[in-house]
Amino acid sequence: MALLKGEGTHQILYGGADIFSGLRHLRGYLARPDHAGSFPGILLIHGSDALTSSVKSVARRLARNGLAVVGPDLNGGGRPRVMSNLVDTFQWMSSAHTPWVRPGSIGVVALGPAAEAAVRFAGEHDVSGMALISPVFDGAIPASSVPLLGFYGKEDELVPADKRQAAQQDLAHGEWILYGGVGHGLVDESTEDYRWEVAEDVIDRMVEFFGAREP
């Protein structure tokens, strides 16, 4: 597969993934560099809309820049079991079955309403850091000291300014980026206010944050 300008530095392997942990089996989406080596791993937690084409696009864009991304389908197989499914995926990524994931360097990326689960999960597991894209917190924000990179659109129609400020105050140890002229769908190609240059900046910052390297 040829790489076009702006598409990253790695050719990638991507598609549906079978995630196994003990006797449990999950379906998900995988995108990773398609050559020998191990890469920083990313556990990608989708929002309430499941593994949409935009979520998969985020996975591929990160993979083209040297990250190994796994996104479990948290809505598949009946009633969602979010935390246990995240644990199963994390364990699979940390196992010998995924030699393309660099040991000890799994990070978390969460979209929208997945933020609360991501913060709780990161606080209970040895993750390298977490990135929250347009995070939505319905309840109290869990305490966390995990390295954090957060993104909001200034015109976010789902998260009003006071909620954004609360998130930034409660998770003040992290770095927060606020983009003008864009709403909730910072990296969602299906939204009307999607801006390619904003999405690319989000991707670039996450790649740097999670320590991806040139091939």
What domains lie within the chain, and their CATH numbers? 12-209 (3.40.50.1820)
> Beta partners for 39?
101
pLDDT at 211 > cutoff 50: yes
Average pLDDT over residues 125-149: 93
pLDDT at 170 > cutoff 90: yes
Which has more confidence, 2 or 147?
Answer: 147
Check: CB of residue 49 under 8 Å from CB of residue 22. Answer: no
What is the pTM assigned to this prediction?
0.92
**Residue 214 pLDDT:** 47
What percentage of the chain exceeds 70 in pLDDT?
Answer: 93
Length of the chain equals: 215
Check: CB of residue 206 under 8 Å from CB of residue 149. Answer: yes
Separation of alpha carbons 134 and 126, rounded Å: 23
pLDDT at 117 > cutoff 50: yes
Separation of alpha carbons 149 and 110, rounded Å: 11
